[in-house]
Structure 1
Amino acid sequence: MPTTAERQALRSALLATPATPTGTVIEPGRAVFVGSGDSLASALIATAAGHRALSAGDVTWNGTVPAGCDTLVGISHSGTSGATVRALRIARDAGLRTVAVTSQPGSPLADSADTVQKVPTLAVEEVVPCAGHLMLAQGVAAVCGTDTSTVNADLAAALDRVCTLVDAAAAELPAAMPAAVSVLSLPELRAGADFWSLKIIEACGLAVRSVPLEESGHVDYFIGPEAHLTVQLLGPRGRARFDRLAGALRTTGQTVRQVDAAHLVDASGPRADLVRDLAVAVAGTWFADEARRRWGRPPFRGGAVNMDASHIKIEV
């Protein structure tokens, strides 16, 4: 669990960070948002507004723009993620409108876009990173027409509830590290579930996948015999199906843990779904950090992996 000081540092950073300015708003159903890693989790926020989200590599390494797309939105905090920059350039050369969501308006990504949606930088020290996603997701929401002016304050107000949720989830962690982890969700928390998967991978070095709820019901009977942890992220909808599936998976010997995020935020708020998804992302980061502590795992495999990220950066 984060210490009181760490929790307060994130709260203070959120309250001190200016709101994401309103950028160019695009029409629903005609845009594709692309990113990689954390930025792809941010791209998934756009699906709630009727847009599509793809890995930037789906565009770059196919060399073609998605069918039925007239606007491509590239997402990268640094603005130097190679596949995302190349995807925007492919779209621009094909005559599509291009938008960059980034904290770096002078970056290669911004230079490749017709319009730049700048996002603030959240100044907070982290072991397992979350701040970039919190800002990029708001940039994505702003491009989709959402007023994000109170999101930082709403998220800061939810942090105590996030801590309570993580404390309960971490208390139910299996004593021994599993061979792999599945994170289940419905679309309302799909971006959060994707982020949980990324953070557990980074913190613990485990194989982790994000799975739509019903697909787990169709195939996960066959997982095993190694120890497997299934985390169900519950929002306001589909609870009966989550419960039924949890019971079925337990009969196959799997460990199932439910994380109830339905009441993390005030459901009557105008941006409740967005704030909930971001609160779930924070919870996933803190949960992953606690899991790696309990299982004795150094984050990012303790320096065993080259972290210069040169293989994913654009050459400039």
Structure 2
Amino acid sequence: MNSIEAMALDIWRQLVDLPAMPLPEPARGRAIFAGSGDSYAAALAGSHLSPGRVLCFYPADIIANPAIVKGASAYFLSISGKTRANVQAAEAARSAGASTVAVTAEPSSPLAKACDNTFVLQFKNAGKTSGTIGFTASLLACAQIASGAACPADLKAIYGAASKKATRIASSIQTKSAVLLGDSLLYPAAVYGALKLNEVFGSRAAAYPLEDFCHAPLFGHKDEQTVVLGSGDDARVSRRLGRAGLKVLYVDCGKYDGLCSILYATFFMQHLVLAVARRKRMKECYFLQNEKLLAASSDIIY
């Protein structure tokens, strides 16, 4: 199976595995999330869902200043459990007196061994491809830890609505370069979407909070596709950016609240990337084909 079809299978499998996946207990007291890449986006979403008591950091922040986790429950997210910075951060947090928990799909991984406890993410995947079900599994775990939010009962309806929206507009998307924008709860979904464009197409893609983009990054904007994951007044901002000459695609996520809005935006980005890849008749993700960059990435991360 090629990596594009493996990604398609993993996207579909979310409907089966996510509702059945065991979730961790909600955190008691102050908690910290840490992760890199997709895991950081999932952790950031969990932080946004918490009532102000769960913070999110990069592993490097904890390595540089372990005192920030002292007395907290520190959750380290990594699907493989092999990310070197996460392992070092967990060791630093443990030495600083934090209670450490690995949130990973690999219970025998270096991260699991570096932490006091491990929560195992239970899902199946189809092989090496751009991360989809691993991200949503991590997202649900973080949501439960941060706020007690469970997998939505209407997950299938959210998934279906996002798939229809993405399929409808896939023909209008260009992937050479893109900017993804979203405020508050939707910013982590924008970060995740940019990462998928990087991995699958080799796009020059980046994410910004919508309001922050308008302060300075706007002036470096050239001919990129601009995708806004928004709700409420974000539609007005998108129209204004369009009148300024930007190629804006506005995706209204306002039908849903909280975790459901993040899931809708996530499913939308997954289906959009898949639909565009199929329109291009792609067989493999870009990151797997560029062996030189993949080797550099692996050497640095692991």
Fold-level similarity (TM above 0.5): yes
SS at match of 1:159: helix
Deviation at 1:194, TM superposition (A): 1.2
Shift of the 127–25 alpha-carbon distance from structure 1 to 2, 3 Å rule, reads: closer
Aligned mates of 1:108, 1:160 — CA distance in 2:
37
What is the 5 A alignment of 1:232-311?
232-235=228-231, 239-240=232-233, 242-263=234-255, 267=256, 273-292=258-277, 299-301=285-287, 303-306=289-292, 307=294, 309-311=298-300
How many aligned residue pairs are there? Answer: 292
Cα deviation digits, residues 240-284 of structure 1 (max 9, x gap): 2x2332233234322111012233xxx4xxxx5223312322221
Partners in 1 of 2:97 and 2:66 — Cα distance? Answer: 12
Percent identity of equivalent pairs: 25
Between Structure 1 and Structure 2, the one with more helix by share is: 2
Q: Which moved more, 1:209-218 or 1:18-27?
A: 18-27
CA contact (8 A) 2:36 2:59 kept: yes
C-alpha separation between the residues in 1 aligned to 2:229 and 2:71?
Answer: 31
Q: TM-score, normalised by structure 2?
A: 0.83
User: One-letter code of the match for 2:264?
Assistant: A
What SS does structure 2 have at the residue aligned with 1:248? helix
Q: Distance in 1 between matches of 2:213 and 2:167?
A: 26
Q: Is the 8 A contact 1:234 1:260 kept in 2?
A: yes
What are the within-5 Å matches in structure 2 for residues 181-220 of structure 1?
A: 181-220=178-217
Q: Aligned-pair distance for 1:171?
A: 3.5
Give the Cα separation in 2 of the matches to 1:67 and 1:120. Answer: 27
Q: Which amino acid aligns with 1:99?
A: V
Secondary structure of 2:207's aligned partner: strand
Contact 2:69 2:93 in 1 (8 A): no
Does 2:159 match 1:170? no
Superposition map of 1:91-240 within 5 A: 91-124=93-126, 127-148=129-150, 150-151=151-152, 154-174=154-174, 177-178=175-176, 180-224=177-221, 226-235=222-231, 239-240=232-233
Summarize the Cα distance change of 1:122–1:275 in structure 2 as closer, same or farther, 3 Å threshold: farther
Determine if contact 1:100/1:117 at 8 Å carries over to the other structure.
yes
Residue identity matched to 2:183: L
Instruction: Give the Cα separation in 1 of the matches to 2:37 and 2:278.
Output: 23
Q: Structure 1: which 5+ runs fail to align? A: none
- Tell me if structure 1 keeps the 8 A contact 2:37–2:195: yes
Provide closer, same or farther for how the CA distance between residues 217 and 287 of structure 1 changes in structure 2, counting only shifts above 3 A: same
Counterpart of 1:52 in structure 2 is 55
Is 1:76 the equivalent of 2:110? no
Q: CA deviation at 1:7?
A: 6.7
- Of 89, 92, 109, the match for 1:90: 92
The one-letter amino acid of 1:15's match is V
Letter in 2 for 1:259: V
Describe the shift of the 1:68–1:215 C-alpha distance in structure 2 as closer, same or farther (beyond 3 A): farther
Q: Give the whole-Å Cα distance in 2 for the aligned partners of 1:83 and 1:5.
A: 28
SS at match of 1:262: coil
The aligned residue for residue 27 of structure 2 is 26
- Bigger shift: residues 154-163 or 47-56: 154-163
Question: What amino acid is aligned across from residue 268 of structure 2 in structure 1?
Answer: A
CA gap 1:142/1:255 in 2 versus in 1, 3 angstroms:
same
Partner SS for 1:311: helix
In structure 2, what is the Cα distance between the partners aligned to 1:80 and 1:20?
22
**How far apart are residue 310 of structure 1 and its match?**
3.5
The code of the aligned residue for 1:25 comes to P
CA distance in 1, matches of 2:285, 2:12: 23
Question: Cα distance, 1:56 vs. partner?
Answer: 1.7
CA deviations over 1:287-311 (Å, ceiling 9, x no partner): 1233455568762256123435232
Provide the C-alpha distance between the structure 2 equivalents of 1:280 and 1:141, rounded to a whole number of angstroms.
Answer: 15
Displacement of 1:11 in angstroms is: 4.3
Q: Contact 1:232–1:257 at 8 Å: present in 2 too?
A: yes
